[in-house]
Amino acid sequence: MKKMFFLLLLLGSPLLHAQEKVQIYDPLADARFDLRQAILLAGQENKHVLVQVGGNWCPWCVKLHDFFGSETTIDSILKADYVLVRINYSKENKNPETMALLEYPQRFGFPVLVILDAEGNRLHTQNTAYLEQDKGYNAEKVKGFLLDWNRTAVDPLTYPE
């Protein structure tokens, strides 16, 4: 029985530490600079900014990152309508000034998505728990969210009286 326990412990150990090796979010990045750059680029490209706040420690953050890259429809919408910027939130760097600028999105847990217009005004903060399904993300919910908050969707000229 002891041998079985140690075997399971040894086999499971790499899986437990695999999460720590992910490098999607950079704790050393200058989040305010990255955010300013994304806003400038969004203005030039007539897009909104999608801020993805999370950390390498967060399994759901990794799942969202992988989901964005693997779902072709979602990837297309992101590229067409948004400038994506990832902001780290971890014990190494909670980016308090940036969290204040984003109106404290960490209250929703992680990952959390924040939509900014091309001037840097916050339009919406999305608790990603509402986009989940089972052990991943629901493509239709994510697609709907992204389309509901793109520039066209929030442009008053889109809705003539």
Are β-strands 136-137 and 112-116 bridged in parallel, bridged antiparallel, or unpaired?
unpaired
Which one of 2.40.160.40, 3.40.30.10, 1.20.1740.10, 1.20.210.10 gives the CATH number of domain 20-150?
A: 3.40.30.10
| pLDDT tens digits along 83-109 | 999 999 999 999 999 999 999 999 999
Sign of the dihedral through C-alpha 17, 19, 20, 23: positive
Provide the pLDDT for residue 8. Answer: 46
pLDDT band at 132 (very low <50, low <70, confident <90, very high): very high
In which band, very low, low, confident or very high, does the pLDDT at 17 lie, cut at 50, 70 and 90? very low
pLDDT in tens, 48-80: 999 999 999 999 999 999 999 999 999 999 999
Q: How confident is the model at residue 9 (pLDDT cuts 50, 70, 90)?
A: very low
pLDDT at 75: 98
Place of tokens 């967060």: 58
Residue pair 123/105 in contact (Cβ under 8 Å)? The answer is no
Residue 97, burial from CB neighbour count under 10 angstroms (0-12, 13-18, 19+): exposed
Dihedral-angle region of residue 92 (phi above 0 means left; psi in -120 to 50 means alpha; beta otherwise): alpha
Q: Is the pLDDT of residue 7 over 90?
A: no
pLDDT, greater one: 22 or 65:
65
- Two structure tokens written together for 144: 């709907």
pLDDT band at 21 (very low <50, low <70, confident <90, very high): confident
Percent of the chain with pLDDT over 70: 88
Domain boundary assignment for the chain: 20-150
